[in-house]
Amino acid sequence: MRIDIITVLPELLESPLNCSILKRAQDKNLAEIVVHNLRDYSTDVRHRRVDDYPFGGSAGMVIQIEPVDRAISALKSERKYDEVIYTSPDGEMFNQPMANGLSMAENLIILCGHYKGIDYRIREHLITKEISIGDYVLTGGELAAAVICDSIIRLIPGAIGDEQSALSDSFQDNLLAPPVYTRPAEYKGWRVPDVLLSGHQRKIDEWLHEQSVERTKRLRPNLLDDDM
Ligand code: ADE
């Protein structure tokens, strides 16, 4: 999978995309993430400006259509993209099924939103999918792009050591994951549930499933009736 990210703040993406599992997936050539500075596509050679005052006189600057069109066209001339994503608080709410679907894409473009917005014609004519990572407003779409990359790249087979562990994540069956414990079996009198120490695998599996169902009912009951 290849993900091209277009942003005015490439520095913001450096560390989240180059650590841990995302770094390992790239080192293993399972994923390639390329960050592009939108200013490289500015028509203003001297100042590399990519924004301008909004028509109609509201406050703040708006990202112009031309640099974005130039950036996306340059990428599209190299390969075919499954989606051109725009990160914005008014996009479709991101969730696990969406991450699962995107993890099967070959090539993705993510255009990071900007706090005052982008010329709406970009959204109408160049973007194929708009994603929000939650009902709150970030200063830009970079952190949202990092969240999307993290959640989809970890699903690529081979990206995490134990493939089973992506399947047993919270949300994969519309259920939260069961609790996990490790040694010592007792600490300050706080004991690990006996069943986990019993060695009886069928009982352990039953208990883990019961815990998942109980935690979902108690903490996120909406997952049980949602068509996620
Ligand atoms: N940009 C600003 N806030 C955002 C959000 N909640 N989701 C995606 N992109 C954003």
Task: Return the sign of the alpha-carbon dihedral for residues 27, 34, 138, 144.
Answer: negative
Which residues share a beta bridge with 36?
6
Output the CA–CA distances (angstroms, integers) from residue 21 to 4, 150, 215, in the order listed.
18, 8, 27
This prediction's pTM: 0.93
pLDDT tens per residue, range 173-183: 889 999 999 99
Binding-site residue ranges for S-adenosyl-L-methionine: 113, 133-138
Residue in 85, 87, 90, 139 to alter for ligand 1 test, most ligand atoms within 8 A of Cβ? 87
Nearest CA, atom 9, ligand 1:
88
- Contact assessment for residue 68 and residue 117, using Cβ atoms and an 8 Å cutoff: no
Mean pLDDT in residue range 193-212: 97
Nearest CA, atom 10, ligand 1:
88
- Contact assessment for residue 205 and residue 168, using Cβ atoms and an 8 Å cutoff: no
User: What is the 228 CA–ligand 1 centroid distance (Å)?
Assistant: 20
User: What is the 86 CA–ligand 1 centroid distance (Å)?
Assistant: 9
pLDDT tens per residue, range 106-120: 999 999 998 778 999
- Contact assessment for residue 108 and residue 3, using Cβ atoms and an 8 Å cutoff: yes
Task: Indicate whether residue 93 lines ligand 1 (CB < 6 A).
Answer: no
What is the distance between the alpha carbons of residues 9 and 6, in angstroms, rounded to a whole number? 9
